[in-house]
Structure 1
Amino acid sequence: MVTFVDQVELHLQAGRGGNGCVSVRREKFKPLAGPDGGAGGNGGTIVLVADPQVTTLLEYHRRPHRSAENGAYGAGDYRAGAHGADLELRVPVGTVVKTKDGEVLVDLTEPGTRFVVAEGGLGGLGNHALASQKRKAPGFALLGTEGWAGDVTLELKTIADVAFVGLPSAGKSSLIAAMSAARPKIADYPFTTLHPNLGVVESGGTRFTVADVPGLIEGASEGKGLGLDFLRHVERCSALLHVLDCATLEPGRDPLSDLEIIKTELAAYEVPEGQIPLLERPQLVALNKIDVPEARELAEFVRPDLEAMGYRVFEISTASREGLRELGFALAEVVEAARAKELAETERLERIVLTPKAVDRSAGFRVVTEGGSYGTLYRILGQKPERWVQQTDFQNDEAVGYLADRLQKLGIEDALVKAGAVAGSAVVIGPGSGVVFDWEPALTSAAEVQVGVRGSDERLDGPARRTNKERRADYHDLMDAKAAARDQLERERKSGMWEADEA
């Protein structure tokens, strides 16, 4: 069984951000000299890099699970955690990155192109960064957020100027080895080539690339053999060279019938929208293996028929290198014409003016009302509130209060009131199960903010110093209370509820 590796599914996990640190600097005569907890490091990001030295996706077929490093935790004395190292995954030039649903994310057609496929999580802030006039020594820190995790599909489509196509064992690998410095695997059995080989050819001052597309068979466009996997590599080529075997000994085969089989498969293959169909591109024919006397006779016999079909025909031998020079000049001519046409089309295109994206002045969230058997649920969706929830330690009341203050400043409570939420309504932040809580608004019916700040640090609230008037009022209240107590005891004694001890 042959395993083809030009399309793989990657399972990615970006690094998680490190948690911030809760620390208070202690000095002599100052038990609480101030917070000094450092921030956590950011998680590592996964980046795809188009590398011309990489030719297949075999490495990712063997190891489809890839993870980046997590960020380190923050520490006291203002020490920030180290960032997680980014993970660079080098892929062949021409790799198309798709989502699990088939949406194209990026087409890496240029060497050195970089694409961030999985963003690392953010590091949490330490309590030093959270200190303020109202919260001088926070007893909490922000947690690091999770990095992106999910699946993407890598699909390789070879980028070359000319594609060599033909049935198995037609001599395509030998031809690319004879015309360039490429050294593909060559053997006397079909399907020797399991992935396209690229070669660079220089002829007549023109430098171009050729691709040895692995052998096709009848029914390849319907998925038989490895045809569908191989045909995608022809999409980007500007010209095709049909390599026909004139020395085959298989019964029922000849150059004309082989050409018809290949043309049928090329015609049945649907190219992406906007591209030229395969059979409408420039095509040449190479009658190979004419170093064999019988093959030379057959090539001379079928050549007039091929030329009558409109093809430029070249009789070649990769063993003796006969005819390769003329073929190289012809291919260079076709490539130059294709490049000139592409350049002319590019110049006719309208100029695209890139303008900066408008600043989003909206709140950055939305409230969705959902109904259910247990009543109405108000779901809050937005990048900021969802991130803030991930950063909150719900075991710390002060951290929960800080989250409530942030949500209020963002305008979420106003939005909930407009959506019809009341005290005790079920509110969830984020998609799916999210974080569910019973909403306790900080707004009165008049939509005025209540006095007080949630999440304030009560540890540093010093005793308030009373004025003389307050002390005098407290003293009078104390004396009045003592007099009232004596009067109550006297009334109880006179009523006979208790008697004084005669002793």
Structure 2
Amino acid sequence: MIDQIFINIKSGKGGDGAISGRHEKFIPRGGPDGGDGGDGGNVYFIADENERTLLPFRYKKIFTAENGGNGAGAKKHGANGKDITIRVPIGTQIFDDNEFLLVDMIEQNQKTLVLSGGKGGNGNVKYASSTNQYPVIAQAGEEGKELEIRLDLKLLGDIGLVGAPNAGKSSIISFLTAASPKIANYPFTTLEPVLGVVEHREKDFVLVDIPGLIEGAHQGVGLGHDFLRHIERTKMILYVIDGSDPNPVEVFNNIKHEITMFNQKILEKPYIVLINKTDLEEVSLLKEEIKDTFKKQEKNIYFVSAISGEGLSKVLDEAVTTLFSPEVTKGGAFVPLETAKKSPVIDKKLKENITVLKPTPKQRGPKIVVENDLYMVFYPSVERIAQRIDYEDWTARMQLYKHMKKTGVVRALEEAGIKKGDTVQMGGIEWEWD
């Protein structure tokens, strides 16, 4: 089971606007007819209850949406790039490369727009005016966005089996489900969570056998934090205690201590204590003694055997009653992740159950950065026009200059102290100011 993985996502680039004119037989003057470029595809994530693990992302780690098509003559707009939708298990958390939690995928069909595609560039028809009836400038498509993200999966099941190594959890899940975990007599037999679907009283739920917990787990000892992360979002816990242990109460208290040191709210979840291995004569003979010892602090105790199945039906009766009670089904057993840094860019939209991440606020006005005699212009909408200019065409250069003047770029350059002979850099293009 992979529960944490890094992937790369990239939205599509916007298509370039076209520079074109009409050349029809009965329209001698013609006119601009360059169409706009199409928008690049978006990157969405959707929570899907049919996805149970992050294993598929081990084999595919790069996801790219389609680029928008370029505009063409006759005012033909480029096609929008196809979106890409990445399906993840319910409970997946998406973090950006700054460790901010972008979104928590906690509901079936919850859809999140993580990266918007680049906007298509304007065709030259958009720049026509009474003083510029045939513009030879257009706009390049906006670049797509790229991001490395981390996926965390914390929801592994409805009910978690929690206990020390060799408590018999794997045997219990084998008995109750079709799961077939590897079982042997040594610590950490189960190195990864094992999922199984349990059907009981016309109800079904996911039971998860979580790797054994040892002292110091909250500090990362053994399987440590991996273990504790897995139980944060189970709705209910079955504590499995080895009845043949010399002091089962102490074992139970140690488990609760480790959980408390990690996140004490986990102990607020509904739970049942299972004393396992009643098929062993030594445990069977000590039933009353163990029961009396536990009764001082716990009343909800069941003696069970993963070999014979003794007591497990009654455990399932109570588990189903608790799991499907209004308090639990309404999320009362949910444990919030207090340590996650919430991203400030999340904007939740209730319509269509889509979460939309707010884009970076649009820049208002040009920004000029001066390094010696180099004047760098940062103004995305104008930069994209500069990228589409034929600098051998004097008319195109003049139209660009007029557009720069109209949008305040020329004024900003002059205020920054530009003079003839200095170099201007905009949209990756450089030219001498004259």
TM superposition score normalised by structure 1: 0.67
CA RMSD of aligned residues (A): 4.0
Within the alignment, does 1:21 sit opposite 2:18 as a pair?
Answer: yes
Q: Structure 2 matches for 1:476-495, cutoff 5 A?
A: none
Partner residue in 1 for 2:107: 110
Is residue 392 of structure 1 aligned with residue 390 of structure 2?
Answer: no
Provide the rounded CA distance (Å) in 1 between the counterparts of 2:294 and 2:163: 15
Query: 1 CA distance for matches of 2:27 and 2:408?
Result: 39
SS at match of 2:22: strand
Match of 1:339 among 324, 328, 336: 328
Aligned to 1:187: 183
Specify every segment of 5 or more residues in structure 2 that has no aligned partner in the other structure, as ranges: 335-348, 351-360
Tell me if 1:266 matches 2:259.
Answer: yes
Higher mean displacement: 77-86 or 396-405: 396-405
Counterpart of 1:424 in structure 2 is 419
Structure 1 residue 128, shift from structure 2 partner: 3.3
Q: Which protein shows a greater Rg?
A: 1
Q: Find out whether 1:128 has 2:125 as its counterpart.
A: yes
**Which ranges of structure 1 fall in alignment gaps of 5 or more residues?**
271-275, 346-353, 356-361, 441-503
Q: What residue in structure 2 maps to residue 42 of structure 1?
A: 39
Residue-by-residue CA offset, 1:30-52 (whole Å, 9 max, x unaligned) = 56523333322222221111111
Superposition deviation, residue 218 in structure 1 = 3.3
Matched letter for residue 304 of structure 1? D
Structure 1, residues 415-450: CA drift from partner, whole Å, max 9, x if none? 778xx63443999999xx98788889xxxxxxxxxx
Q: 1:312 aligns with which of 289, 295, 300?
A: 300
| Structure 1 residue 242, shift from structure 2 partner | 0.7
Q: Secondary structure at the match of 1:305?
A: helix
Supply the AA of the counterpart residue of 2:152: E
**In the alignment, what sits opposite 1:197?**
195
8 Å CA contact 1:363, 1:411 repeated in 2: no
TM (normalized to structure 2)?
A: 0.77
Identity of aligned residues (%): 32
In structure 2, distance between residues paired with 1:429 and 1:253: 77
CA distance in 1, matches of 2:155, 2:288: 33
Aligned: 1:329 with 2:317: yes
Of residues 67, 71, 83, the one that matches 1:86 is: 83
| Most deviating of 57-66 and 168-177 | 168-177
Amino acid at match of 1:59: P
| Superposed CA offset, 1:342-382 (max 9, x none) | 6799xxxxxxxx99xxxxxx995267787x884998875xx
Q: Distance in 1 between matches of 2:272 and 2:316?
A: 11
Q: Write the distance in 2 (CA, Å) between the matches of 1:198 and 1:424.
A: 73
8 A Cα contact 2:142 2:384, kept in partner:
yes
| Post-superposition offset of 1:326 | 1.8
- Relative contact order: is structure 1 or structure 2 higher (C-alpha 8 Å, sep ≥ 6)? 2
User: Which runs of structure 2 are paired with 1:267-286 in the superposition (5 Å)?
Assistant: 267-270=260-263, 277-286=265-274
Q: CA deviation at 1:215?
A: 2.7
Shift of 1:222: 2.0
Deviations 1:143-172 (A, max 9, x none): 111111121111111165432211344333
- Shift in CA distance, 138/223, structure 1 to aligned 2, threshold 3 Å: same
d(CA) in 1 for partners of 2:115, 2:277: 50
Matched, 1:293 2:286: no
Number of equivalences: 404
Task: Give 2:172's match in structure 1, choosing from 164, 172, 175.
Answer: 175
Q: 1:233 to 1:170 in 2, by over 3 A?
A: same
Amino acid aligned to 1:195: P
Note if contact 1:266-1:278 (Cα within 8 Å) is conserved in structure 2: yes
Distance 1:297 1:127 in 2: 90
Residue 476 of structure 1 corresponds to none
Q: Distance in 2 between matches of 1:20 and 1:341?
A: 51
Task: Give the secondary structure class of the aligned counterpart of 1:37.
Answer: coil
More helix by share: 1
1:47 counterpart letter in structure 2: Y
In structure 2, the CA distance between the partners of 1:97 and 1:341, relative to structure 1 (3 Å rule), is: closer
Contact 1:20 1:75 in 2 (8 A): yes
Change (3 A) 1:68 1:363: closer
TM-aligned CA distance change 1:164 to 1:428, over 3 Å: farther
For the 8 Å contact 2:91–2:106, the answer to whether it is kept is: yes
After superposition, give the CA deviation of every residue in 1:250-277 in whole Å (9 maximum; x if it has no partner): xx8763454344223212214xxxxx62
**1:105–1:396 Cα change, 3 Å:** same
